[in-house]
């Protein structure tokens, strides 16, 4: 159905506003996305889009398949004036399109850790960095991204904008503790799966990422921590990797993670 809506007390507007908060997203199993480009990526990735709020002048620019679904009664498109849309948006007056999508649900078995490159974020607090790292994980073929408790929400508004739709193309597992990950890798070893290396990014020392040798092209989990503190103490026993830099540490965690993912994907492809 396609309808005109107005006023911040409209049910769809109120729901979109609530979904800006992590608690409501988790409770309802719904995500909120913002921007026409993000909507197009979500549709092309096969995301389960449930409702769209769009500025009134943008109906002709919405993906035709979504408009056809709305005309067939399979989803709702609400056309809003700028003020109404801004009331539901984390972007305020810059909003053009908001959409509600069912949150994907993945588990550890979906990542095939013994055979792939995966990313583990431990305490990365800036949502823009988290979104960029999800984007880089997709770019370099990672099987998925795991986030530890205390890491910024991969589906928050800032992370979604930084990810540019990568969240719809990546298997994301939130709230994975280090113990969860290590138990999974132990179980894979017990079953005789291929070796999975854990490599911990360290700005202050470790093996040059360009010279890291990977065992037979097996799985790799790259662990990234907060920019200043680094990953938690539970990773002290694992090998460190670093990016040699001139003069001083000038890469933030998103830039460093992107370089490390590139080098690891290149090393793995050379071993396969």
Domains contained in the chain, CATH given: 2-102 (3.30.1330.30), 108-271 (3.40.1280.10)
Per-residue model confidence as pLDDT tens digits over 10-37: 899 898 889 988 889 989 999 999 999 9
Cα–Cα distance, 22 to 20 (Å, whole number): 7
Distance CA 77, CA 66 (A): 9
pLDDT at 246 over 90: no
The Cβ of residue 93 has, within 10 Å, a number of other Cβ atoms equal to 9
pLDDT in tens, 217-227: 678 999 999 87
Residues 193-231 have pLDDT tens digits of: 666 889 999 888 888 898 887 655 678 999 999 877 777
> Which segments of the chain does DSSP mark as H helices, in order?
11-18, 22-28, 36-44, 64-71, 82-88, 127-139, 157-163, 178-190, 253-271
How is 16-78 classified by DSSP, letter by letter?
HHHTTSHHHHHHHTEEEEESHHHHHHHHHTT--EEEEEEEGGGGGGS-HHHHHHHHTTSSEEE
- Band (94; pLDDT cuts 50, 70, 90): confident
Closest to 53 measured CA to CA, from 102, 9, 1, 96:
96
Q: Are strands 97-102 and 49-55 parallel, antiparallel or unpaired?
A: antiparallel
Q: What is the DSSP letter of 114?
A: G
Distance CA 212, CA 200 (A): 12
For residue 96, pLDDT beyond 80: yes
CB-based burial, 40-65: b 16+ in 10 Å, e otherwise: bbbbeeebebebbbbbeeeeeebbee
pLDDT the model gives residue 93: 67
Residue 75 structure tokens:
């989803």
| 8 Å CB contact between 89 and 114 | no
């Amino acid at each position: 159905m396609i309808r005109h809506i107005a006023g911040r007390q409209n049910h769809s507007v109120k729901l979109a506003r609530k979904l800006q908060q992590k608690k409501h997203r988790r409770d309802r199993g719904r995500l909120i996305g913002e921007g026409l480009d993000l909507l197009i990526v979500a549709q092309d990735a096969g995301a389960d889009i449930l409702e769209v709020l769009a500025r009134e002048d943008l109906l002709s620019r919405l993906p035709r398949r979504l408009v056809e679904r709305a005309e067939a009664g399979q989803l709702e498109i609400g056309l809003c004036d700028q003020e109404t849309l801004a009331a539901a948006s984390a972007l305020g007056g810059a909003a053009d399109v908001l959409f509600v999508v069912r949150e994907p649900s993945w588990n550890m078995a979906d990542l095939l850790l013994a055979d792939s490159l995966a990313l583990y974020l431990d305490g990365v607090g800036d949502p823009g960095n988290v979104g960029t790292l999800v984007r880089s994980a997709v770019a370099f073929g990672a099987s998925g991204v795991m986030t530890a408790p205390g890491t910024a929400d991969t589906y928050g508004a800032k992370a979604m904008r930084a990810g540019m739709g990568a969240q719809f193309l990546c298997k994301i597992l939130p709230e994975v503790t280090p113990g969860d990950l290590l138990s999974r890798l132990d179980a894979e070893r017990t079953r005789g799966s291929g070796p999975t290396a854990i490599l911990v990014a360290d700005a202050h020392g470790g093996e040059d990422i360009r010279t890291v040798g990977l065992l037979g092209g097996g799985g790799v989990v790259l662990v990234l921590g907060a920019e200043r503190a680094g990953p938690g103490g539970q990773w002290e026993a694992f090998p460190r990797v670093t990016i040699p830099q001139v003069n001083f540490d000038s890469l933030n965690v998103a830039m460093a993670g992107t370089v490390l993912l590139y080098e690891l994907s290149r090393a793995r492809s050379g071993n396969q």
